[in-house]
Structure 1
Amino acid sequence: MEVKIPYGKNEYVPVDIPEKNLIGVFDVEEKEKIEDTAGAVKKVLENPVKADSLKKLAEGRKNAVIAITDHSRPNIEKIALPIIVEMLNEAGLENDNITVMIGPGSHRPAYEEEVKDKLGSVYEKVNYVCHSAFDSEMVDLGETSFGHPVKINKQFYEADLKIALGTVLPHPFAGFSGGGKMVSVGVASDETISSTHRPVIVDNPQASFGIVEDNPFYLSSLEMAEMAEVDFLINGVMNEEEELFYVQAGKVEEAHRDIVAYVRDMFEVKVPEKADVLVVASGYPKDSNLYHVSAMGVCAVAGSAVKYPCVDKGARLIMVSPMEDGIYNHVFYDTLAKYESPEEVVNVVGAFEEFEPGHHRAYGVAQVLSDHEVVMAQSYLEKDVFEKIHMSYADTAQKAVDQALADFGEDARIAVMQYSHRMIVKYDPEVK
C-alpha cells in the first residue's frame, strides 16, 4: 500500500508499506475552518475574553509593542497584524509609535524575508525589531513562585501597551504553545528560558503534550505574563496550509484556556495498538532542521513528554524530514555528540548546574535514544551528522521501512504519523 509522507512545504514522499503490517496512517481530525479570517479576528478583538476591546484598551496609550512568533510557527500575523494596527490607529496611536517585536526565544534571529512574510502589509508601516535572548537589553522582574527568574526584553516590558500574538499547538513541556509562553520564551532571556527547560521540568509527568493542569511550565509562564503586565493576547489555531480554525483574544490566561478547551480533542490522535515501527513526519514548518525534528518528531512520539506512548521500549522510530536548514542549535548537537552513549548524556546533563538553551533538547532526545533506535531518512544532512549523535541514517524512507520489515519480521506492526508537530499522540486500545 502506498502511503504519502509529508516532506517539506506541500511535498510528499511515497512509501510502500504492506497493508497487513500497517496499523494506520494518523493525523489530526481538523475542525471546520474559518472562511472569513479577517472578520473572525476583528470580532474577537472587539469582543475579547475578560478584557476591554483592543481599541478601548489602546485609547490614551503613548506606544504599543506587539510581540509575535518567528518563522517556525504558523503565520497568523499576516492576517491579524493589519487589523490590530488599524484598531490601534483608530484609538489614536500613530504607526511611528507601534513596534512589532519578533520573539524567537533562543532560536536564530529572523531573516529579512521572514520578517516581510510575517508582517505582510504592515511591514513598511510600523517599526519592527527582533528580540535576542542573548543580546537584547533585559529587565529583571524577580522570580515566579516556581523559582524561575523573570528576565525579559526591556523594550517590551516598558511599552505602554503590551500585546502578544501567536498560535496554539501541542508543546512538549508547556502542554500547548501560545499564552504566557510569549513571555517565558519568546521575549525572554536565555537565563529565563533555560530555567523552564531544566530536567526537573522535562521529567515532570504533567509537563507533557496537551496537559496544562498542574503543569509547572504552563503555570510559571502564566505568572511571567502577569509579572510582565501583558495587556492583551491574540492566539489562533492554524494548520500547515495556514488555514484558521479558531481564534480568541483577551486576558492571557482566560483567552488561552478557552482555545485549549476548544482544540484539545482536535490535536489528540489515538492509536489502537502498540507499534514496532513508527514512520514519522514532523511536517512543515517543523521539518526544516534537526533541532525542530528532534523536538516535534522524535520527542513528539516517545519519551517523557508523551503521557501515553504508542510504542514500547525497543521500537524503532523512522523520521522522514528534509532538514535543509541543517542542525540549527549547536548546544543541542554538540552535547549529544560529546558523550559515548545516550545514557551518559541523560546522566551527565541531568546533573548540570549551568544550563543553556539546547541542553534540554539533548536531554530529551537522549532519553528517547536510550529506549529506541532513531533512523533519520531522506535528509539533506550527511550520514555522519546523525551517527555522531547516536542515530542511524537511511538514504530513502523506503529503504528505512524495508530494513525495519527485515529486522522486525513479517508480522511487524507499523504506524505512520503525519504532521507529528501538531499531535498529542495517545495509545488507546479501546479505539476501533
Structure 2
Amino acid sequence: MHIQLPYGKGRLEGEIDDQKLQGYLQCPLNNHVYESEAAIVEQSLKQPIGSKTLAELAYGKRHIVIIASDHTRPVPSKIILPAMLSEIEKVSPQAQISILIATGCHRSTTAKELRAKFGDELMQRLTIHIHDSESDQMADLGILPSGAPCLINQLAVEADLLLAEGFIEPHFFAGYSGGRKSVLPGIAAKNCVLHNHCAALIDSPFSRAGLLKGNPIHLDMKVAARKANLAFIVNVVLDEQQRIIASFAGDAVMAHERGCAYAAKRCGLPPIMSDLVITSNNGYPLDQNLYQSVKGLSTAAETCCKSGVIIMACQCADGIGGDAFFNMFAQCETVQKLYDKILSVPAAQTVSDQWQAQILARILIDHQVIMISDLDDEVIKKMHMIPAHTLNEAVQLADKCRGIKSITVIPEGVSVFIQK
C-alpha cells in the first residue's frame, strides 16, 4: 500500500504491507466544504464570544498591542491581522498598533520569516517587536497557581488594549494551543516559562493533549493571560493544508474554550494499537527541527504497543532546535537515568528544554523511535534513536527491530490526539 506523509514543504512517500495495516488516524478537519478564509474570520469578529466587538473595545484606545505567533506556527496572519486592523482603524484611526511576536523561549524570528508571515503590505504598516524572554523589560504580575513568578513583557502590560491572534490544535502538554498560550509562554520571561514547564507539572496525568480540565500547565497559562489583561483573541482552526476552516473571536477564555470544543470533536480519535506507528510532524513549519518532533511522537506513543516502534518523519531543516535538548541525551548513560534525573529537578531549578527531554525520554523508555530527517545520522544516534532516510528504509528497520505484525498510520501527528 502506498502512503504519503508531510515532510518539510513536500511529501515523503513509501510502501507498507496492507495486510498489516490496522487503520489510519486522520483528522476529519480535512473533509470540509471551503468558503473564503477571510470571510470566516470576518464573520467571527461580527459575532464575538463572551465579549463586546473588537471595534467597541478599541474605541478611543491609543496604544494597542496584538500578540502574533512566531515562525514555528502556521498561523495565517496575512488573513487574520487585516480583519483585526480593519475593526480597530475604523474607530481609532490614530491608535498606535504594535505587533509583539510571541517567541516564548524560541530563537528570534528572522526578517525573512516575518516577511513570509505578514507580507510586504503589513510589514510596511506595522511596528513589530520580537519578544526576547531574557532581555526585554518584564512586568511583575505576582505569582501563578504553580508558584511560578508571573513576569510578562512590559510592552503588552502597558498597552491600552491587548489582543492576540493564534490557532487551535491539540498540544501535547498544554491540552490545546492558542488562547492563553500567546501570553504564557509566548511573551513571558524565561524563568516564568521554565517554572511553568517544570518536571512535576509535565508529569501530571492531566498535562496531555486534549485535556484542559485539571491541567496544571493550562491553569497557569489562563491565570497569566488574565493578569496581563488579554482582552480579545482571534483563533482559527486549520486543515492539513493550513487553510482556515473555523474562527473563534472574543473573550480570551470563552472563545478559546469554544474553539477547543470544536477541535475536540474533530481531532480526538480512538486508539488503534499496533506494533508500528508511522507518523509525521505535519510538515513545514512544524517540522523545522528535532525539538518540535516530540509533539507528533507523543501522539504516536499513545497508540503504539509497549516495546513497539514509532517511525517519525520530521525534516529538521533548521537543525536540532536546542543545544540543551541535544546534550541531555548525548551525555546521558541511559534514557531511564535521564528521565529519573529530570523528575528529581525542583520547579525553581528547571532548565531550558528540560520538558521536551522529559517527554521524549518517557516515549523512548517504552518505544524504539526511527527518525527520518535531513540530520546527520550520528546526531540521531546520540539522541538514542535510529536514523533513516526514506520511508521504505524505516519500515524495513522497524521490522528488524521487532518483527512487525500490525501498523497504524497517523499522517499528521500534531493534528490529532488519542482519546482513551
Give, as a single letter, the amino acid of the residue that structure 2 aligns with 1:118.
K
Q: Residues 7 and 313 of structure 2 are in contact (CA less than 8 Å); yes or no, is this contact kept in structure 1? A: yes
How many residues matched?
415
Separation in structure 1 between the aligned mates of residue 357 and residue 337 of structure 2, nearest angstrom: 11
1:373 aligns with 2:368: yes
1:424 to 2:414 alignment? no
How many Å separate the matches in 1 of 2:199 and 2:376?
Answer: 30
Question: Structure 1, residues 229-266: CA drift from partner, whole Å, max 9, x if none?
Answer: 11111111013422111111111111111111112021
Deviations 1:374-404 (CA, angstroms, capped at 9, x unpaired): 1112x21111101112111123221120122
* Alignment check: 8 A CA contact 1:317 1:375 kept: yes
How far apart, in 2, do the equivalents of 1:94 and 1:300 lie? 47
Q: TM-score, length-normalised on structure 2? A: 0.95
Q: What SS does the corresponding residue of 2:224 show, helix, strand or coil? A: helix
Deviation readout 1:275-296 (Å, 9 max, x if unpaired): 1111111112221210111x22
In the TM superposition, residue 86 of structure 1 has moved relative to its aligned partner by: 1.8
- 8 A Cα contact 1:46 1:55, kept in partner: no
Structure 2 counterpart of 1:249: 249
SS at match of 2:223: helix
How far the C-alpha of 1:176 sits from its partner, in A, is 0.3
| Contact 2:40-2:245 within 8 A present in 1 as well | no
Q: Give the distance between the partners of 1:72 and 1:240, measured in 2 at CA.
A: 16
Alignment correspondent of 1:405: 399
2:224 match? 224
What is residue 337 of structure 2 aligned with on the other side? 344
Match of 1:89 in 2: 89
CA distance in 2, matches of 1:381, 1:161: 43
Aligned position for 1:305 = none
Aligned partners of 1:344 and 1:167: how far apart in 2? 36
> Which residue pairs with 1:395 in the alignment?
389
1:149-228 equivalence runs, <5 A: 149-228=149-228
Q: Is the 8 A contact 1:65 1:162 kept in 2?
A: yes
Amino acid at match of 1:22: L
Match of residue 8 from structure 1: 8
Letter paired with 1:331: A
Are the counterparts in 2 of residues 190 and 356 from structure 1 also a CA contact under 8 Å? no
Residue 145 of structure 2 contacts residue 219 of structure 2 at CA under 8 Å; is this kept in 1? Answer: no
How far did 1:333 drift?
Answer: 1.2
Residue in 1 that maps onto 2:353:
358
Structure-1 residue corresponding to 2:116: 117
1:74 maps to 2:74: yes
Partner SS, residue 162 of structure 2: strand
Alignment of structure 1 residues 135-150 onto 2, 5 Å: 135-150=135-150
Matches of 1:177 and 1:210 in 2, distance apart? 10
Whichever residue aligns with residue 178 of structure 2, its letter is G
* Further displaced range: 221-230 or 117-126: 117-126
Q: Structure 1 pair 164/29, CA: closer, same or farther in 2 (3 Å)?
A: same
Question: 1:263 and 1:137 mapped to 2: Cα distance?
Answer: 35
Q: Following the alignment from structure 1 to structure 2, what is the Cα–Cα distance between the partners of residues 72 and 108?
A: 10
CA–CA separation in structure 1 for the residues paired with 2:34 and 2:253: 23
Q: In structure 2, the residue corresponding to 1:184 is in which secondary structure?
A: coil
Preserved CA contact (<8 Å) 2:74 2:286: no
Measured against aligned partners, the alpha-carbon deviations of 1:208-244 in whole angstroms (never above 9, x if no partner) come to 1001111111122111111111111111101342211
Deviation at 1:109, TM superposition (A): 0.7
Q: Kindly provide the amino acid, as one letter, of the partner of residue 26 in structure 2.
A: D
What are the ranges of 5 or more consecutive residues in structure 2 without an aligned counterpart? none
Q: Distance in 1 between matches of 2:255 and 2:276?
A: 39
Aligned equivalents of 1:71, 1:374: Cα separation in 2: 26
Q: In 2, are the aligned partners of 1:376 and 1:391 still within 8 Å (CA)?
A: yes
CA distance in 2 between counterparts of 1:321 and 1:242 reads 17
The one-letter code sitting in structure 1 at the alignment partner of 2:187 is V
- Which of 317, 323, 326 lines up with 2:319 in the alignment? 326
CA contact (8 A) 1:172 1:208 kept: yes
Amino acid at match of 2:168: V
Distance between the aligned counterparts of 2:218 and 2:269, measured in 1?
Answer: 22
RMSD after superposition: 1.6
Q: State yes or no: 1:21 paired with 2:15.
A: no
Shift in Å at residue 117 of structure 1?
Answer: 2.3
Counterpart of 2:297 in structure 1 is 298
Q: Distance in 1 between matches of 2:402 and 2:230?
A: 53
Deviations 1:67-112 (A, max 9, x none): 01112212231101112112211112436x1111110111111111
Percent of residue pairs identical? 29
- Report the alpha carbon displacement of residue 22 of structure 1 after superposing the two structures with TM: 1.2
Distance 1:166 1:208 in 2: 20
Q: Please identify, of 178-187 and 23-32, the stretch whose mean Cα deviation from structure 2 is larger.
A: 23-32
Contact 1:33 1:244 in 2 (8 A): no
The separation in 2 between residues aligned to 1:317 and 1:387, in whole angstroms, is 15
Aligned to 1:147, what secondary structure does the other structure show? coil
- Note the C-alpha offset of 1:62: 1.2
Alignment pair present for 1:98 and 2:97: yes
Query: Does residue 58 of structure 1 match 2:88?
Result: no
